[in-house]
Amino acid sequence: MTLAEQQFHNAPLTLTIRSLHAQNDGAEIAVRVLLESGEHREERCLTLTTEQYCELKPMRGEIDEESYEALEAASQLCQAIRCGENLLSYGANSVQMLTQKLTQRGFLRETAAQAAQKLQQMGLIDEENDLRGELDKCLRKLWGSKRIWAHLWNQGFGSEAMNMLPTLLEEIDFPENCARLVRKHYTEIPTEREERRKLIASLGRYGYSLPEIREAFRMLEIQNQ
C-alpha cells in the first residue's frame, strides 16, 4: 500500500505540484503538493536538495503517485542529510555511527544510511582522519592496544580506516605507556601478592597484555633501583 493509499484509502486521488521555490540560499527547493480526494484537500511541502531537484525534475501540474512517492522519499533523505550535518557540527562520526544516530532520530535505516554515505561523499566524514584523532584521545588516556581496538570498532569505523590501525599502533611503546599509567596511580609497584594481582587486573582492563605489564614492571623496578 502506497503512502497516498494509506492516507486516503481507496478514494480517487489527485496530486498536483502547486509551486516550487528556492530556499536556504538556493541550497534547497521547496515543492508544495496538493493532495485531493473527494472533499478532502491537503497541501504538503516537500524539501529537496538542489541535486535531488535536478535529478527528479519536478514541474508544476498534476503528477502520479509514483512521482509523489519519489519526491517524498527524496524529501526524507534531504531531512536526514540536514540532520546529519547538524550532528557532525558537534563532533566527528563514522558512517556507521551517524547512521545509528539518524535511525534513533526516527529516520528509516535505509534513509539514514544513504544520508551518511552522502555526507561522506561530500567530505564531511573523513574516517581515516577521524580515526587518528580518536586514537590520540585513547593514547592520552594511556589505554592499551586491546582497549583501543575495541573502542574504535564500537565507534563504527569502516574496514578501510581500521586497516590503518596496525601500522599506527606499531609506533607506540605500550610497555612505556603502561609504566606511565602505573606511576600515575601508584608511587611504587605493590609487593603484596593480592595488591599486585589487583593492579595487573586493572592494567588488563586498560587494554594491556600480560607481557606488556611484565615489561612495564621490569622498567619501573630498574628505574627505582
My answer on whether 182 and 79 are in the same domain is no
Smallest Cα–Cα separation from 102: which of 127, 126, 123, 77? 77
Q: How confident is the model at residue 185 (pLDDT cuts 50, 70, 90)?
A: confident
CA atoms within 13 A on the CB side of 183: 13
My answer on whether 56 and 159 are in the same domain is no
My answer on whether 48 and 86 are in the same domain is yes
Instruction: Residue 46: give its domain's CATH number.
Output: 1.10.10.10
pTM over 0.75: yes
Q: Tell me the three cell numbers of residue 118.
A: 552522502
pLDDT digits (tens, 9 = 90+) for 55-111: 999 999 999 999 999 999 999 999 999 999 999 999 889 999 999 999 999 999 999
My answer on whether 161 and 189 are in the same domain is yes
Q: What is the pLDDT of residue 1?
A: 32
Q: How confident is the model at residue 225 (pLDDT cuts 50, 70, 90)?
A: low
Residue 209 — φ and ψ, nearest 5°?
Answer: -80, 160
My answer on whether 117 and 134 are in the same domain is no
Query: Which one is predicted more confidently, 52 or 221?
Result: 52
pLDDT above 70: residue 6:
no
pLDDT above 60: residue 151:
yes
Of 86, 121, 156, which closes a domain? 121
From CA 181, how far away is CA 115, in angstroms rounded? 41
Of 105, 121, 137, which closes a domain? 121
Of 72, 87, 121, which closes a domain? 121
Segments forming the whole domain that contains residue 153: 127-223
* Residues 83, 121 contacting (CB under 8 angstroms): no
